[in-house]
Amino acid sequence: MVKKLVLTLALVAMTASPTLAKTIVFATDATWPPMEFVNADKKITGLAVDLMEAAGKEAGFTPEFKAVAWDGIFAGLAAGKYDAICSSVTITDERKNTMDFSTPYMKVRQALVIPKKSAAKCIEDLKGKTLGAQISTTGHFAVKKTEGVKDKSYDEVGLAFEDLYNGRIDGVVCDDPVAKLYALKKDNYKDALKIACIIPADDELYGVAVQKGNKETLELINKGLAAVTAKGLDKEILKKWLGTAE
């Protein structure tokens, strides 16, 4: 009788316990505010972090974020050092050759930031000038393909803005949410910098990258993103970080 009672209690406890959620480790280059960055409490935070946490609650996975430098982030994924990359990665045909992507979660464009005193209207007015961008980003690609412009690459976009503010370069090209934060909201910079233009090009789509063939992780992430969108949680997160749900 005692054995039966113990067994019954054990079965009840197992039934009452929630299923252990799968942990997905996301690599992120936490130098890209407001998307992914380290806050004053030394915690990785931002729009994309909130989005993955919301997706995790909906799909039953626990997101864990790992700070990884951009220049090695894709190699780390290929080597299996983490499960996914959530770091404002633009989905491109070239990248799709070596990794799989989630459904897109955000649309962005490339913006040119210049000093307020500059008369340049857009990138073609800066021939002979030096433009900065974070290395191997789509902003960097845009600078490199612009004729007559000198390109200077940086490990972090914040270093490019520091050089722009101090007059060492003539402009910075980066994703428009990041450009808006530095040029319109960041102390010191907002009084000295402006967005000259959105560079004419196709819109870019952010996606979460996983290793080729990692269907289990990809399906969980997509399930979470779909639920977040269906409930309108994505619009709440966008409004929190960007001031607009569009």
How far apart are the C-alpha atoms of 99 and 107, rounded to whole Å? 20
Question: Is residue 16 one of the residues assigned to a domain?
Answer: no
Query: What CATH number is attached to the domain comprising 181?
Result: 3.40.190.10
Q: What is the pLDDT of residue 21?
A: 72
Question: Is residue 154 one of the residues assigned to a domain?
Answer: yes
Q: What is the pLDDT of residue 216?
A: 96
Q: Are 68 and 227 in contact (CB under 8 A)?
A: no
| Pair (130, 163) in one structural domain | yes
| Pair (215, 100) in one structural domain | yes
Quickly count: other Cβ atoms within 10 Å of residue 210's Cβ: 25
Is the confidence at residue 77, as pLDDT, over 70?
yes
| Pair (98, 53) in one structural domain | yes
| Pair (98, 215) in one structural domain | yes
| Pair (99, 214) in one structural domain | yes
| Pair (136, 157) in one structural domain | yes
- What does the block give as tokens for 126? 């800066």
Q: In b/e form, how buried is each residue of 136-156, taking b as 16+ CB within 10 angstroms? A: ebbbbbbbeebeebebbbbeb
| Pair (87, 121) in one structural domain | no
Question: Is residue 28 one of the residues assigned to a domain?
Answer: yes
Question: Is residue 3 one of the residues assigned to a domain?
Answer: no
Kindly report whether the peptide bond that precedes residue 34 is cis, defined as omega within 30 degrees of 0: yes
Question: Is residue 194 one of the residues assigned to a domain?
Answer: yes
14-32 confidence digits (pLDDT tens):
333 344 579 999 999 999 9
If one counts the domains in the chain, the total is 2
Question: Is residue 42 one of the residues assigned to a domain?
Answer: yes
Q: Which of 64, 86, 85, 89 is nearest to 76 (CA)?
A: 85
| Pair (162, 178) in one structural domain | yes
- What does the block give as tokens for 51? 């989005």
Q: What is the pLDDT of residue 121?
A: 96
Q: What is the pLDDT of residue 187?
A: 86
| Pair (217, 97) in one structural domain | yes
Q: Domain of residue 184: give its range.
A: 110-198
| Helices first, then strands: H and E counts in the chain | 9, 15
Q: Are 116 and 135 in contact (CB under 8 A)?
A: no
pTM, 2 dp: 0.85
DSSP 33-69: TTTEEE-TTS-EESHHHHHHHHHHHHHTEEEEEEE--
| Pair (115, 164) in one structural domain | yes
| Pair (235, 180) in one structural domain | no
Q: What is the pLDDT of residue 245?
A: 61
Question: Is residue 6 one of the residues assigned to a domain?
Answer: no
| Pair (192, 217) in one structural domain | no
Is the confidence at residue 76, as pLDDT, over 80?
yes
202-220 confidence digits (pLDDT tens):
899 999 999 999 999 999 9
159-205 confidence digits (pLDDT tens):
999 999 999 999 999 999 999 999 988 888 999 999 999 998 889 99
